[in-house]
Chain A
Amino acid sequence: MPETYTLPSLPYSYDALEPQISAKIMELHHGKHHAAYVANLNAAITSPETANLQSLIRFNGGGHINHSIFWKNLAPAGSPDTDKSNAPTLVQAIEKEFGSFKDFQEKFNATLLKIQGSGWGWLVSRTGGKLDIVTTKDQDTVPADTTAIFGVDMWEHAYYLQYLNVKADYVKRIWEIINWKYAEARFTGSSEDEFKDLRAML
């Protein structure tokens, strides 16, 4: 019997990210969407049938990993975690790579808005520490030779109830709730990769 996965609790309440992300979005996104990825992943890995299984594990396993990182890389606006001074090493590396923090943000936003369909935008570090902006489609996880520093969910369910078709506003406001403390920990390697085994399975 393989290990089964569980929906992680959010490190804050559903309404804690308002007004940037509404409680209704958070409740559906965590309690329904993420929960469905977990349930479908568990169903796939315990299923005796083999048809389409690899695709289901990849999709739902990816959904579980991506959302688990996403919840942690957000924090209520104005809380100490959203203060960039908590990410000195990362911010320095961003400025070195992209010229300035503002240039990085603009490039990140533009990249995310170009996604054709469902997907995610990520700041990743490549082997050796070089930073890069990548997008992944649907629930694909970040490329194997990269570590996700933080991600932004660009599926319509992540913003639609509040922002409708104006995804540029969602992308603009998400900066107010990025958890820089957690991003720094992922960049410096002090946060452990809890999904190492699952990622290997995808």
Chain B
Amino acid sequence: MSLAATTRSTLFRATKASSIRALGSITAVKTKYTLPDLPYDYGALEPHISGQIMEVHHKKHHQTYVNGINDAQEKFGAASSPAEKVALTSLIKFHGGGHVNHSLFWENLSPTSKDGGAPPTGSLASAIDDTWGSLDEFKGKMNAALAGIQGSGWGWLVKDNTTQKLSIVTMPNQDPINTTQYTPLVGIDAWEHAYYLQYQNVKADYFKAIWNVINWKTAEKRFS
């Protein structure tokens, strides 16, 4: 599957609009994507992620990706030549990927007063222990992978759909996880806009702090 096709198929899944999916892919291509509501207030992740960051990140950045994918999709539908369509796939992948990634990200965060930071349990906890020895070892590996990203991108804890094995992958820019191969469990946004207003150049502190608001309940649901 091409990356653009992967992006689109993930988008369909992300919309959870089964009624629209039932109408078939031709109709689904015309679906307008919308900015999802956050499952908590902008200030709810403080002091680990400031309310200002959350507001700009959700209301401005994520909205821009939603507008971008809708715009690119409209142009794609109107394009008559394959060359025009090919030229639009980069925009579809970038903005579609941005929409998918942020939608997953908001859901895998939670205030510390709710599920944020409470360690995983059950089969996911065992799988992490089996793979890395302990949750802390895993966090250390994930933070090192995040710190090693050269430019904008994301770090993910993923499950391989064939082998069921866990691994850490990083993706550049807004490239989405290939969901044919992997199930994304936890995503961490390593773009500078995700932390700069609060942590500036000290991104290691952001990566350390974000584990306090990681929602392992969401990760467990995605795992099973």
Contact = CB atoms under 8 A, between A and B. Distances in A.
Contact of A138 (B151, B174, B197): B151
B192 A28 contact: no
Contact of B200 (A28, A118, A155, A165): A28
Interface in B136-188: 150-153, 172-174
A23 interface: no
A156 B196 CA distance: 8
Contacts of A28: 200-201
B222 interface: no
A32 B200 contact: yes
B114 interface: no
Interface string B185-224: 0000001110011001100000000000000000000000
B170 to A, nearest CB: 13
B6 interface: no
B61 interface: yes
Contact of B60 (A33, A138, A155, A164): A164
B64 A36 contact: no
Interface string B75-93: 0000000000000001000
Nearest to A29: B201
A161 interface: yes
| Count class of interface residues, chain A | 20 to 34
A116 B193 contact: no
A55 interface: yes
A137 interface: yes
A139 interface: yes
A90 B114 CA distance: 60
Contacts of B200: 28, 32, 157, 161
A160 B90 contact: no
B94 interface: yes
B197 A116 contact: no
A107 B196 CA distance: 29
Contacts of B38: none
Contact of B151 (A36, A117, A160): A117
Nearest to B200: A28
A98 B223 CA distance: 54
Nearest to A165: B60
A117 B90 CA distance: 13
A59 interface: yes
Interface string A146-166: 000000000111001100110
Nearest to B172: A117
Contacts of A157: 192, 196, 200-201
13 contacts: A28-B200, A116-B90, A116-B173, A117-B151, A117-B152, A117-B153, A118-B152, A119-B151, A137-B151, A155-B192, A161-B196, A164-B56, A165-B60
Q: Which 4 residue pairs of A and B lie closest in terms of their CB atoms, listed nearest first?
A: A138-B151, A117-B173, A156-B192, A118-B151
Interface of A: 28, 32-33, 36, 55, 59, 116-119, 137-139, 155-157, 160-161, 164-165
